[in-house]
Amino acid sequence: MTEMATSVRYAEQTRFGAARRCKVALVGFGTVGQAVAKLLSARADEHSLELTHVFNRSVERKKSVWNSHHVHWTEDFNDVLASDVDIVVELVGGVDHAYQWVRSALESGKSVVTANKQLMARHGSELMELARRKQRVLAYGAAVAGGVPVISGLHEGLGGDRLQKVCGVLNGTCNYILTRIERDGTSFADALLEAQKAGFAEADPTDDVDGYDARAKLVILARAGLNAEVSPEQVVARSIRPLKRMDFDYANRLGCTIRQVSRAELGDGVLRAAVEPALVSQESPLAKVSGSQNLVMSMGEFGGETVFSGYGAGGNPTAVAVVSDLLYVVRLQSQLMMEPDRPRPRQFDVNADFTAARYLRFVVRDSAGIIASLAGVLAEHQLNIDSILQLPGHEKSALPFVITLEPCQTSEVESAMEEIRKFSFLAEAPLNMPILH
């Protein structure tokens, strides 16, 4: 080993080895940031991590929540960049500012841990490549499913397999709402209000209930598990807002329940991906997820099905994932190792044209010939009816019933539904969901 190499090696050992503690800066001190700070403090005698900087707006107000004489508080991110901090933890959320801060931290030679799903969905590949060039680490296990170690499980635990499919329940807010509707007959509006009061849902719940939050997580899972590069805008996201208690009643008749399901699968050189409410068999692991829990399933060519589950939302579960990422970074860099050089994600054609049985729920103003009219359109599109269900006790002016279809392609059903929506006997827009067995 040359004298220069020996000097560099000694410097790195001093920086990340046992000679001194690894210095950490928190960027953002909200619910998760505070939980991370408390966890680092509670376990300070068990690891080499030392929280030295906190960057946030209104730091005086934040200090009243949690304060330490050993922490430098700042409202200027340049203070973090100019410091001797080893790892920057980004917990602010959003995309634009977070992107600039994470990029600047990596450029300055600092490793980064982030829980930012939107950032990693939109800029993950670029930032990971920058981290490789700078010989630093970008860890993002907390960005998907909170405290559930999905990303590390896909990368390390299943790294020897060739994964073909990932799917899961990725949004705790939606799962909480659907569980309340199913178990107690709560309306969507009331269940959403409860979720907001409990802290599961934001004041503006759009990202959660319309599927955009889960879509960002699915993009990250597709990259990590399927080695597929896809942007959020390429993934179809459908809302859970149209769901009613009656849909759970009908689903129960079919041996199913309803969950917001995110799924991506590779086949014939195409990536099929979507986030949408779906009927799932009551025997499926997806049906067992309740409240604010998350679950991810992967299917490998050689290893078959693997399931990851646990509590994904909230400060403490996410803080556990963040601190686990911090310890992972320290382990790598204390041993003068970088993250494994994984294959670069590949581009695929992307669509949502899955093949599955379908659930079609109609609410009509009752009159003669309705079933015949619907059956005629479905037949024109080569769609085979599997069953027709109608529960009693509804007014003729708003009469609900369900038609289930044998397995067919999503595009075929959507084409038929375009024609069906023109019928004047419809009292409200029909609902179309896949049935996943």
Indicate the SS3 state at residue 211: coil
Q: Tell me how far the alpha carbon of residue 52 is from its chain's centroid.
A: 30
Catalytic residue among 63, 217, 288, 422, which?
217
Is 217 annotated as catalytic?
A: yes
DSSP letter at 396?
A: G
| Strand intervals (E) in 182-340 | 228-229, 236-237, 256-267, 270-281, 293-300, 304-311
Residue whose structure tokens are 């009752």: 366
State how far the alpha carbon of 40 is from the alpha carbons of 46, 322, 329, 368, 371, in Å. 9, 10, 15, 68, 63
Rounded Cα distance, 24 and 36, in Å: 11
| Cα atoms in the 13 Å half-sphere on the side-chain side of 322 | 34
Return the SS3 of 79.
Answer: helix
Please tell me the distance from the alpha carbon of residue 374 to that of residue 75, in angstroms, as a whole number.
Answer: 62
Q: Answer yes or no: are the C-beta atoms of 169 and 286 closer than 8 Å.
A: yes
The token pair that represents 2 in the structure block: 């040359």
Radius of gyration (Cα) for the chain, nearest Å?
25
DSSP 8-class letter at 305: E
Nearest CA-CA partner of 332 in 154, 157, 51, 137: 137
Q: Please, are residues 145 and 294 in contact by the beta-carbon 8 Å criterion? A: yes
Which residues pair with residue 47 across a beta bridge? none
Q: Which residues, 6+ apart, have CB-to-CB distance to 31 below 8 Å?
A: 314, 315
List the alpha helices (DSSP H) in 18-82.
31-42, 59-63, 77-81
- Please tell me the distance from the alpha carbon of residue 217 to that of residue 285, in angstroms, as a whole number: 19
Angstrom distance (rounded) from CA 273 to CA 211: 12
Catalytically annotated residues: 217
